[in-house]
Amino acid sequence: MVVGMRKEYELEFDGYSNYIVEQHDEVTLVDFTLTIVCTPYTYESCESGLLSCYDEKEQGGIAVTIGKRGIVRVKIGTMQQIILCESLKEHLRFQQKNIITVAFWGTAGWMDLYVNGVLSNRRQFGRHSSAHIQTGRWYIGKYVNGTDDAQTAKHGIFHGMLRSIDFEQRYLEYDAVCRLHEKELGETVGTDIQVEGEKQEIDLYAGLDFRNDWYRPVYHLMAPGKWMNEPHAPFYYHGRYHIFYQANPHAPVWDNLSWGHLVSDDMVKWRDGGIAMYPDTVGLDIDGVWSGSACLDQNGDPVLFYTAGNNEELPNQSVAIARAVNLQDPMLRKWSKQGIVVRQKQGEGFIGEFRDPFVWRHENIYYMLVGTGDAHNGGGNALLYTSMDLKNYSCHGFVMEYDYESCTKGGHVWELPVLLPLKNEGGEFVCDILLFCACQVEQEEVETYYYLGKFDYERGKFQKYHEKPRLLDVGRGVFTGPSGFVTCDGRSVVFTIAQGKRDYESEYQSGWAHNGGMPVELSICKDELHVRPIREIKQYFNQLVLREQIAEQDYDRNVSFHQMLIAHRLTLKSSGTYLEWKIRMSHGEICVSYDKASSEFIRRNTAGEIESTTLDQEHIIEIGEEDIRMECYVDHSLVEIYLNDRKSMTFRSYLMCEGNTFLVRTDGNCTVTLDEWDAKII
């Protein structure tokens, strides 16, 4: 970067992996004008760098950064002080072309900051000051403040188009800057007239290529890339399924969350519907568009309910709604926020813990559960609200009563409460299920728990059938973040997030983090809860093997797990009481087994240590006289095993490589029926 030259870049920065480093010589600047033309695609909570040759400790150099909400910050180091100037009257226009000019007049002692033709701020300082840049590096597209950790930090990288940087060794006055901005933007600018430009069509995930990623699942619900957390707000509308998810399209890290959107014809093969909602730059949800749900209103039109985050308020979480802009659009790409409908009041749960609304309609009344905690007993709970018009809501207190001291595994706060009806084999309504994700827990793993019972619509209370919450999945903290809905054919379907369980560096380098788990159907069979993958998944498998084998001989099969996606159904017949399914690799093995004698459904690692034992012996599963049935879905790093439709075990394996094998082992004189399928690439 040479002072006194204009550089045309027209480069896209992806927000986490690419930026430019150039060498520069020492220079002292008294009067200069710096102009940058850019289009920001997303924002970070911290500062993203446009230009940085800055040393905070030595108080030297220049940095131009973008903060959340499009705030522009300029830092000038004179070697005696840092001069900071932040945009006030005008900020960057989101996903539009912007022009920034920093006019530094050291001789007179002030600095002007212009954004899109508006003098946004002026900072005064001592006359005859100068910016001093030491010999070193210019960072284009990343903010570095001179510390060692800042150079390797996983944040501070610009996400967007950097079009040009113009560095002149003279101070430009107001009229000259306005002419420059008008010429660049092609519109009238200034404090009197501001024309709002059209947002560009932007590919937020351009350049990402996961075709050679061994560990990225293929037939599961996936974001296009970067950060994904819990899927939520599923609904069916005009022949298509819609679901949303917590997304950070800036980088594969947790930050500044938005609502990603996916659309499907069958809940298996999903198409990207873009980002449905970003955090606002002012007001409503400036600190995140957090999780929620969806409900069809009395006209059959979808309404989104979400947690609006605003750390400038206390409580900092409220419930807001949004509606589709164009109901004729089959993808429902654009959504319009309608404002906050429920604010937390004193005495309604833990103040500041108020999130993840779940809404359903029953006999023309809208019911809403909001996750929170109970200050009286110290445990998590959900508040119940009702409304006749989706505008005015009444609070009816906590949805359930229980003794927290005997149920501490449920945590001090409930997140993502979900209430669904359950039917039996004959399609008759039997009971309800109340699911929630334990938060602020006192054990290591965050888990998804449930209660069976019935929701009393007259009293507004959930009457539980058992005292302690139970686990759906015994994979230890991978199956979390539930959401659910009732399909048009009457099935209660639950979605979850399959936690990646990788270290921070691996996620960052891979370009993606987390994915959805297999959607599962919940029902009651013989008075027990049953869980199984949605029936639509089977159409994506070609049957390869159907064979019977005498159990004294172990069954081995060579498979390449990163290319061949398989599902197994293993049925133990006759007198056998033990069934083991094992993935064997060159550097270890994973073993899952069920033993009728002990009723233990467990997983062991390479060292033979049990990994799946959970609190209150949740891995103990009684199947009576039934044959042992284990259905195993392997999708690269994600493994899901279902035992007799009673429990699932979801876990991750990043050990898979070429030459993997799986083995089936039993005991006694029994027969194993093995069905094997090859997944059609989606």
- If pLDDT is split at 50, 70 and 90, which confidence band does 329 have? very high
Instruction: Give 42-56 as a DSSP string.
Output: ---SSPEEEEEEEET
Beta-strand relationship, 512-513 and 226-237: parallel
Q: What is the pLDDT of residue 195?
A: 42
Supply the pTM of this predicted model: 0.93
Q: What is the pLDDT of residue 672?
A: 73
- If pLDDT is split at 50, 70 and 90, which confidence band does 344 have? very high
- If pLDDT is split at 50, 70 and 90, which confidence band does 64 have? very high
The answer to whether 371 touches 380, Cβ cutoff 8 Å, is yes
CA distance 679 to 634: 10
Q: What angle do CA 655, 521, 574 make, to 5 degrees?
A: 75
Section 135-149 average pLDDT: 86
Please report, as a single letter, which amino acid is at residue 170. Answer: R
| CA neighbor of 104 nearest in space, from 143, 140, 55, 62 | 62
CA distance 27 to 3: 9
C-alpha dihedral over 76, 82, 83, 84, to 10 degrees?
A: 90
- If pLDDT is split at 50, 70 and 90, which confidence band does 23 have? confident
Q: Which class for 270: exposed (0-12), middle (13-18), buried (19 or more C-beta within 10 A)?
A: buried
pLDDT tens for 497-551 read 999 999 999 999 999 999 999 999 999 998 999 999 999 998 887 765 555 554 5
CA distance 58 to 146: 8
Residue 199 has pLDDT above 60, yes or no: no
Section 626-645 average pLDDT: 90
In the chain, how long is the greatest CA-to-CA distance? 95
- Domains along the sequence of the chain with CATH: 6-185 (2.60.120.200), 226-533 (2.115.10.20), 538-679 (2.60.120.560)
What percent of the chain shows pLDDT beyond 70? 89
How many Cα atoms within 13 Å fall on the side-chain side of residue 297? 15
Section 208-217 average pLDDT: 90
114 against 3, higher pLDDT: 114
**Residues near 149 by beta carbon (within 8 Å), at least 6 away in sequence:** none
